[in-house]
């Protein structure tokens, strides 16, 4: 039985939303965003505002992000089984990656459309734009409030939450664009705002996507220094050396480690105790709850093995 979801990991004490309440919140957020997307697309077509349609696309991507997040949360809570021995926790990480990828495509498209509009401006109904964008802002703030506390503990929900914050700013920008049309007749503000929204989305993706890829690529957690962990293992009484160390994240905030421990020949009779104290050090100092340690006797250990990873020299 694997750790059920990531709520067992450390760093979760500040937030006790039970999973079903969390699901309900996400479901509500999906419903409002779907309704909003529809309203904005209709408003955008009637008013001729590209920025409104840009915001609608973004809101739609929000709804999709939340739908993916919703199912990923459900999947992530499944217990481990023989075929998925590590459990399903990474479903959320995969979902986050899918979300960031779709956002990249969307923002590239909006950027292109915005630039084209500069050369061929179209008439815009400013009042309609402002009213629809104001409605959008309210919905974005409601969704952000629904997902805020959950975003701290899950990169999946955080991806969805960031969509929402970007949306709220997008809606404010669209309101500005509509106001510029009403007051000064400046239709160019609309494509300018569209381009700004797209650049903003790109910037956010760049900030967040690295962490997602790192987990999927089995990289060491950013807050753990692999050399420090290896040194701490070797400081344990009875450990001559450690090699073939693999340090990675099972999922967000769940570090795991496998390693070969070379036990001093004179400590071999206490090898089990040595291993237990290494396990204790890993748990207490580094929060590594999942460690698999292979024991080897000094003088009979793997020859010429690398300290990290599995490349034989």
270 to 130, 178, 245, 263, 266: CA distances (angstroms):
74, 76, 22, 9, 9
Q: Is the pLDDT of residue 14 over 50?
A: no
Residues 6+ apart with CB under 8 A from 188: 118, 121
Q: Is the pLDDT of residue 269 over 70?
A: yes
Report helix, strand or coil for 78. Answer: coil
Between residues 114 and 152, which one has the greater pLDDT? 114
Burial of 63 (0-12, 13-18, 19+ CB in 10 A): buried
Q: CB neighbours (10 Å) of residue 300?
A: 10
CA 125 to CA 57: how far, in whole Å? 19
Considering the domain delimited by 226-297, tell me its CATH architecture: 2-Layer Sandwich (3.30)
Q: Is the pLDDT of residue 11 over 50?
A: no
The pLDDT of residue 19: 67
Considering the domain delimited by 6-216, tell me its CATH architecture: Up-down Bundle (1.20)
Between residues 59 and 127, which one has the greater pLDDT? 127
Q: What is the pLDDT of residues 199-222, one digit of tens each?
A: 877 887 887 788 889 989 989 988
Q: Name the segment(s) of the chain with CATH classification 1.20.1510.10.
A: 6-216
Q: What is the pLDDT of residues 278-310, one digit of tens each?
A: 999 999 999 998 899 999 988 877 777 888 887
Residue with tokens 């009779």: 269
The pLDDT of residue 259: 93
CA angle in degrees (0–180, nearest 5) for 286-287-288? 90
Between residues 196 and 217, which one has the greater pLDDT? 217
Q: Name the segment(s) of the chain with CATH classification 3.30.70.1350.
A: 226-297
Q: What is the DSSP letter of 302?
A: P
């Amino acid at each position: 039985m694997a750790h059920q979801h990531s709520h067992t990991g450390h760093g979760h004490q500040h937030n006790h939303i039970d999973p079903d309440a969390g699901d309900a919140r996400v479901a509500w957020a999906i419903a409002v965003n779907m309704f909003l997307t529809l309203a904005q697309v209709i408003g955008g077509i009637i008013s001729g505002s590209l920025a409104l349609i840009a915001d609608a696309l973004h809101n739609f991507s929000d709804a999709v992000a939340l739908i993916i997040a919703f199912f990923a949360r459900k999947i992530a809570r499944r217990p481990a089984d023989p075929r998925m021995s590590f459990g399903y926790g990474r479903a959320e990480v995969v979902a986050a990656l899918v979300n960031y990828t779709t956002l990249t495509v969307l923002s590239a498209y909006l950027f292109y459309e915005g630039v084209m509009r500069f050369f061929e401006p179209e008439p815009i109904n400013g009042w309609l734009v402002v009213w629809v964008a104001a409605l959008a802002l309210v919905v974005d703030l409601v969704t952000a409030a629904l997902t805020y506390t959950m975003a701290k503990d899950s990169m999946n929900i955080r991806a969805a939450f960031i969509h929402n914050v970007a949306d709220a700013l997008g809606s404010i920008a669209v309101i500005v664009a509509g106001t510029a049309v009403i007051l000064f007749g400046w239709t160019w503000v609309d494509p300018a705002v569209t381009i700004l929204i797209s650049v903003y989305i790109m910037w956010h993706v760049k900030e967040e996507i690295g962490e997602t890829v790192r987990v999927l690529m089995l990289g060491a957690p950013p807050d753990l220094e692999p050399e420090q962990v290896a040194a701490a293992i070797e400081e344990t009484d009875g450990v001559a050396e450690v090699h073939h160390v693999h340090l990675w994240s099972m999922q967000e905030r769940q570090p795991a480690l496998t390693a070969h421990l070379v036990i001093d020949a004179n400590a071999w009779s206490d090898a089990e105790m040595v291993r237990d104290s290494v396990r204790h050090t890993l748990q207490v100092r580094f929060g590594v709850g999942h460690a698999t340690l292979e024991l080897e006797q000094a003088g009979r250990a793997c020859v010429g093995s690398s300290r990290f990873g599995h490349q034989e020299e």
